[in-house]
Amino acid sequence: MSYQTNIQWLDGGRILAECGPMRLVIEACIGRIPQKDICIRAAKEAFLLLERIAQQRQFLSRHYRNVPDGRYDFMAEKMVRSVLAIDEELTPMAAVAGTIADGVAAFLNRWGMTRIIVNNGGDMAIRPGSDKSVNVGIRPDLTQSTITDVITLGDERTSWGVATSGLEGRSMTQGVASAATVIAGRASVADAAATSIANASYIEDKTVIQRPAEELDEQTDIPGIDVTIQAGPFTEAKKDLALSGAMKKTEELMKKGLIFGAYIAVDGKVMMTDFVRQRLVKLS
């Protein structure tokens, strides 16, 4: 499968790389100096990674209970391992955007970049470097572009992964969360976790409308699964119930050491973990 590609210069030394369904914004520096040429190389690397994943789409659209034996691409293996760690009900495609972001960040790290931000449509691989934190904007409603809060991620870790899932996000959800943003050590894990946590927000309510996934996308990796296309408005009790389900899944993943925390929104009501609350700056 071949995709049409596009690379554009952005402000601040960043690069926009587009290829089929993928839209990456790549930023890489040595110290505080942007490295545009390396970002262009990273964009081309991202195109190759996406092509490799597309060639293995049939393999990656299955459910697994164990990492399969035999030879297969390291990107595919990473996707399988991420979803198996998070939720066996997911297919490896639940980690595709985060895995590509991680792959591009690893490429830039090999070229000696000390500060790296790879944003794959909202799923981010971050390597902050030792001299500057990274501020990540939070959208509590994926149907709107408004950023209401910012999470600051510092250099106490060399690697962060941030991903968001929810109603009308890039991937389909079984739940009713308008947004579930997850912070982990790697984007691949954060991506899978965001999907699982958003799914866990499902509640029964007359306002919730679902359809089989294959009606919305004939190439979906989850045929036979009902996904939410509309939800709300909810009563306060129903919002709490949905948030409770998502938070229960969040705490389960935190206890396993898989993620650091999450910010979850349902119909205007927000719940977050202490990890997020301690790093949150509310925008006026």
Q: What is the DSSP string of the chain?
A: ----EEEEE-GGG-EEEEETTEEEEEEEEETTEE-HHHHHHHHHHHHHHHHHHHHTHHHHTS--SSPPPS---HHHHHHHHHHHHH-TTS-GGGGHHHHHHHHHHHHHHHTT-SEEEEEETTEEEEE--SS--EEEEE-S-TTS----EEEEE-TTSS-EEEEEE-TTSSS--SS--SEEEEEESSHHHHHHHHHHHHHTT----TT-EEEEHHHH-TT-SSTT-EEEEE-----HHHHHHHHHHHHHHHHHHHHTTSEEEEEEEETTEEEE-HHHHTTEEE--
Whether the pLDDT of residue 1 is over 80: the answer is: no
| Distance between CA atoms of residues 117 and 230, nearest Å | 33
The predicted-structure confidence for 87-114, as pLDDT tens digits, reads as follows 999 999 999 999 999 999 999 999 999 9
For the segment 225-232, the average pLDDT, to the nearest whole number, is 97
pLDDT of residue 70: 66
% of the chain with per-residue pLDDT over 90: 86
The predicted-structure confidence for 53-84, as pLDDT tens digits, reads as follows 999 998 899 999 888 876 678 899 999 999 99
The predicted-structure confidence for 17-49, as pLDDT tens digits, reads as follows 999 889 999 999 999 899 999 999 999 999 999
Provide the CA 246 distance to its chain's centre, in angstroms.
Answer: 16
pLDDT of residue 284: 63
pLDDT of residue 169: 83
pLDDT of residue 132: 81
Specify the CATH number for the domain of residue 173.
3.10.520.10
| Distance between CA atoms of residues 97 and 78, nearest Å | 12
For the segment 202-210, the average pLDDT, to the nearest whole number, is 98
pLDDT of residue 68: 80
Domain containing 84: what range? 5-282
Domain count, the chain: 1
The predicted-structure confidence for 147-204, as pLDDT tens digits, reads as follows 999 999 999 999 999 999 999 888 899 999 999 999 999 999 999 999 999 999 999 9
The predicted-structure confidence for 236-263, as pLDDT tens digits, reads as follows 999 999 999 999 999 999 999 999 999 9
